[in-house]
Amino acid sequence: MEFFLCVLGVVMIVEGLPYFAFPEKMKFWLQKILEMPDETLRKFGFTIMLMGLFLVYLGKD
């Protein structure tokens, strides 16, 4: 459980960093994301999940 909380904390830091460092650019990119078709976002999300799964697999070896 400690490892899980540590990983969750690191993910939150990485996710929050762009909003803290570049709030103007994040607003711009969020607007662009709102204009994207759902299917494109779905494919992008799936690709990111696969990459994350691969990284977890590499880290476990």
Closest CA relative to residue 52, chosen from 4, 1, 11, 5? 11
Query: What is the domain count for the chain?
Result: 1
Expressed as residue numbers, the domain containing 25 is 2-60
pLDDT of amino acid 15: 95
Long-range own/partner contacts, residues 15-23 (CB < 8 A, 24 or more apart): none
Dump pLDDT digits (tens) for 16-52: 999 999 999 999 999 999 999 999 999 999 999 999 9
Which phi and psi angles does 22 have, rounded to 5°?
Answer: -135, 65
Dihedral angle of Cα 41, 36, 27, 19, to the nearest 10 degrees: 10
Distance CA 18, CA 23 (A): 7
pTM: predicted TM-score of the whole model, two decimal places: 0.71
